[in-house]
Amino acid sequence: MNVDFLLVDRAANMVVRRCSVPAEAFLPPPEDGQEWVEVPHADSWGLNEAGAPVYQPATLDELRAATWEQVKRLRSAYESAGCETALGRVDTTAESQLRITGAALAAQVALAAGQPFVLPWTMADNSVVDHDAAAMIAMGETVLAYVAACHARGRVLRAAIEAAEDQAALGAIDITEGWPA
């Protein structure tokens, strides 16, 4: 998915450049007095009287869709940001979630078979912590609860977005608050 950006020159009070890049791409550093500003869509953009980039969708439905896209990007960022477990912080990228799920399943199998289980796990800070079966299962449950909380917050915001009856009500929704820590 691409993200749209404007390169804004604050001194000249103008948009210098517009670009659309993949969400994981890096933008070149801006020159002095310039900054990259993310915009919901690059179709209809410009600067307001204060020099801030603005997007003016034609309809409330377009504004709802743009806001929902921002929420989905936030949800994905939080979901992948890592979470605290009983033995320390772990990564929660999609790949990490799969590995944690597999390790928790292996711990359950070992526990059911009465076999010993100890797995050295590389934590988010690159320290290595031994996890016994109970700790590995608890890590899996913690990560599952964390990801579920990210999606629950997204659903709450989606409902608020859909319920907004006008642009002012939609603008009053703080999509940056309430995400799990």
pLDDT at 151 (0 to 100): 98
Q: What Rg do the C-alpha atoms of the chain give, in angstroms?
A: 22
Return the pLDDT at 40.
57
How many helical (H) and strand (E) elements, i.e. helices and strands, does the chain have?
A: 4, 9
Dist. CA 135–CA 120, nearest whole Å: 11
70-88 as b/e, with b when 16 or more CB fall inside 10 Å?
bbeebbeebbbbbbebebe
Neighbours of 32 (CB within 10 A): 7
Predicted local confidence at residue 13, as pLDDT: 61
Taking the chain (181 residues) in runs of 10, the rounded mean pLDDT of each run is 69 66 72 73 58 63 87 92 97 97 98 98 98 98 98 98 92 92 84
pLDDT at 42: 46
pLDDT at 62: 80
Contact 6, 54 (CB under 8 A): no
DSSP code at position 40 = S
Locate 174 and state its tokens: 């703080």
Domain boundaries in the chain? Answer: 1-56, 59-181
pTM (whole model) above 0.95: no
User: CB count, 10 Å around CB of 106?
Assistant: 15
Neighbouring CB atoms inside 10 A of 165's CB total 8
